[in-house]
Structures are given as structure tokens and as C-alpha cells.
Amino acid sequence: MPQIIFLPHAVFCPDGLVVEAEPGVSILDVAHEHHIDIESACGGVCACTTCHCIIREGFDSLNEADELEEDLLDKAWGLEAQSRLSCQAIVGREDLTVEIPKYSLNHASEAPH
């Protein structure tokens, strides 16, 4: 099983985390399963950019982004060449290193529950 390294993020994962992931699941699902509460204002249905992440290693092992994801990514804060929406980035067979950007564009942010 591939490993996902979540780099440290001041809010969602202060110490960083290394987890194993089943191929075929989204990075967002893996993060939430391990209590990394990456925002997903749309519920993970590719309708916003709040789950934007940057794949520092293993980018080519992910599924290809479709046109809708690419259009949404154009609106993401801090877009880079290896940016993906974590709800759409499906884990392949290689290890990944994931950076959660410092900011996201959430027009309907709610208080934590």
C-alpha cells in the first residue's frame, strides 16, 4: 500500500503525518479518515476549491484531472503546476507527498463543529 506524507500545516496537521492509503480512494477521504480536516465546502463533489492541495511527490501516479477540476483549480489560491483538488485526486500505487496550502478560498466558511 502506498504511503501519503501530509506535510505540516499550522491548522490541519501541525506535526505532519504519514499514513498508508488504499489505491483508488481520494486524498480527501484519506485525510478525513486520519482526522486531517481539510476543508471541503462542497462535500467533495468537485464544486469548489477549498480542498486544494499541492502534490510535492508522486503527482504522475494520480488519475488525470478532468476539465471541470482544471477549470476550478484556476480559481484556487496559490495554484501551482502540481495542484489538485484532493476530492478528485485518486491515490495510485506510488507514495505521495501532499502539501495543504496555507489559505483556501471559502466563501461560505462555517465555524468548526
Mean pLDDT of the region 16-37? 97
Q: What is the mean pLDDT of the chain?
A: 92
Whether the per-residue pLDDT at 112 is higher than 70: the answer is no
Confidence at residue 105, expressed as pLDDT on a 0 to 100 scale: 63
Q: What is the pLDDT of residue 106?
A: 57
In DSSP terms, 19 is beta-bridged to 4
Q: How confident is the model at residue 35 (pLDDT cuts 50, 70, 90)?
A: very high
Name the CATH superfamily housing domain 47-95: Beta-grasp domain (3.10.20.30)
The pLDDT value given to residue 70: 97
